[in-house]
Amino acid sequence: MIGQAVRHGRSAKDAENLHAHLMNDRRVRVEIINSAAPNLQSAMDDMLLACDASKADAAFLHLSLSPSRDMTDGELRQVAQIVMKHFSAEEHPAAFVLHDKKRSNDRGNTHGHLVLGRIGFDGQVIPSGFEKIKLETAMRIAEFEMGETATLGRHHKSAVKWLRANGREDVAQWLDTAHHPNLEKPQSPVSPAKRQMIQRKISTDLAIVTRTVRSAWERSDDVQSFTAALSESDFDVAPGEKAGVYVVLKDGIVLGSLDRLLKIKRREVSDRMTEASDMKGKNHEPKPATKTRITSNDGAGKSNLRSSRGASSSAGPVERARASGRRTNRSATAITGVGTGGAAPSSYDDGRSAKGRQRIKAQQALTSLDQSRLTNSTVFAAQSVRTHKLLTIRHQINDAIRKIEAHKSGWSWIEEFRNDLLEKIRETRQYLFGVDVQLSPRTASKPLKRIDVSHSDVWNEVPDPTYQPMRFG
């Protein structure tokens, strides 16, 4: 028994699409659970209304329940109750939809869809996250309760761990007996969303695609026969984006990777698919790349890469490297257009006009001049660049110091305002009480804190002609 969990009901359009999908089949039966709604549409509307009154991101869960054998409606209803209990949603509103669909193996032709409301009547919301693991664990419990064969799921270890921690040692032991504890995680050829996309695009079920690919693989001996067998069903095979991965296509649509469709190790598929190309490549081996040779003026056109057998055995490592060709004598290397005695003659002089020859000579002279300047002024140029960089950094530091000092001096007006305010308070108290009330030394000497000050002009009932509003900023 396998299941699928998807959150739905994030919007009214999402709920409408799910309703259309569930009611598309003519042979459909709907049962409303924990709700007074007369039909599926009304039940989903109530779930959406409850979601709007809560902080939930989705109104309900769409849980697909597909048994591996034929079950009655009562047995499927019992499976739905096990799932609701496992999600701690026994009192939540729900709708159970039963579909009759012919399977390829003619087993489990009746399956169910449980639309489970996430918000209960007490306002409690089913926590989001780990829905797939929860549903897989519930499927294992249902298989144990209904007498089905144990299915190896992708989250087998997590399910067994939860069962042992929550008092279902009987189910955990049953799963360990049916499957080895360290089995590899099973992988589906495609995701559920990709499965639906394949059904819509090419109008072919993924099970048919899998059977076709496996049949072509079994009755073929090499890549050519396998490709020909696939082409009979309008399928193609091509290298994927990753190295060693091959994908099956139809009308340009990727149906899945070849190793997952065949349930064979990727290495085996890659070795068989690359066998033909390897055999073909042996007859057309590429020629080794030739080495680039640098000519020198003292060799009369001969290469420096040739070894000098007459070199003295007492020569140093640099001389021996130059003699054997591993190191080029830079002082004797010829540069196009630059020579030791001036501009070298150009091979483009023949057939050129006078202006063309003059232009070439001018370019060669400039190249020679630039080369000599670069050789003679490398150290001085480096020192100049370094000095200029230091000057730039020094100016930047001085500018930053000036900005900091200006920023500090910009707060002096707060001290002046504080003194004026204290003086105004003294005058007001003297006017009211007839005596000069001195502020306490603690208040007068209280340090000024740096705070954000906002100001707005206030017009008194009796205007003071001497009042001058202070502007800040």
211-248 pLDDT per residue, tens: 888 888 888 888 888 888 888 888 888 888 888 888 88
- Lowest-pLDDT range of 90-94, 118-122, 448-452: 448-452
Mean pLDDT in residue range 49-61: 89
Confidence (pLDDT) at 322: 60
Average pLDDT, the chain: 73
Mean pLDDT in residue range 101-108: 76
34 and 141 belong to one structural domain = yes
- If one compares 465 and 448, the residue with the highest pLDDT of the two is 465
**pLDDT higher than threshold 90 for residue 328:** no
**pLDDT higher than threshold 70 for residue 25:** yes
> What's the pTM value of the predicted model, to 2 decimals?
0.47
320 and 225 belong to one structural domain = no
Question: Tokens at residue 292, please?
Answer: 């680039």
Cβ–Cβ < 8 Å for 153, 136: yes
Q: How far apart are the first and last CA of the chain?
A: 74
- If one compares 448 and 130, the residue with the highest pLDDT of the two is 130
**pLDDT higher than threshold 60 for residue 120:** yes
212 and 322 belong to one structural domain = no
pLDDT tens-digit series, residues 355-381: 777 778 877 777 776 666 555 554 444
Backbone angles phi, psi at 100, to 5 degrees: -110, 115
Confidence (pLDDT) at 3: 87
**pLDDT higher than threshold 50 for residue 455:** no
17 and 51 belong to one structural domain = yes
pLDDT tens-digit series, residues 249-275: 887 788 888 888 888 888 888 888 886
95 and 174 belong to one structural domain = yes
Confidence (pLDDT) at 63: 92
pLDDT tens-digit series, residues 283-313: 444 444 443 343 444 444 444 444 444 444 4
Q: Would you say residue 122 lies in a domain?
A: yes
98 and 159 belong to one structural domain = yes
225 and 258 belong to one structural domain = yes
Confidence (pLDDT) at 374: 56
Q: C-alpha angle 308/310/315, rounded to 5°? A: 85
Confidence (pLDDT) at 86: 92
pLDDT tens-digit series, residues 402-424: 766 666 656 666 677 777 777 87
The CATH number for 45's domain is 3.30.930
Cβ–Cβ < 8 Å for 113, 99: yes
Instruction: Quote the domain boundaries for residue 428.
Output: 412-444
**pLDDT higher than threshold 90 for residue 94:** yes
Cβ–Cβ < 8 Å for 338, 364: yes
**pLDDT higher than threshold 60 for residue 201:** yes
227 and 262 belong to one structural domain = yes
Confidence (pLDDT) at 230: 85
Q: How far apart (Å, rounded) are the C-alpha atoms in residues 109 and 71?
A: 8
Q: Would you say residue 457 lies in a domain?
A: no
Q: Would you say residue 103 lies in a domain?
A: yes
DSSP 184-200: PPP--SS-HHHHHHHHH
Q: How many domains does the chain contain in total?
A: 4
102 and 142 belong to one structural domain = yes
Q: How far apart (Å, rounded) are the C-alpha atoms in residues 232 and 219?
A: 13
Q: C-alpha angle 351/352/353, rounded to 5°? A: 125
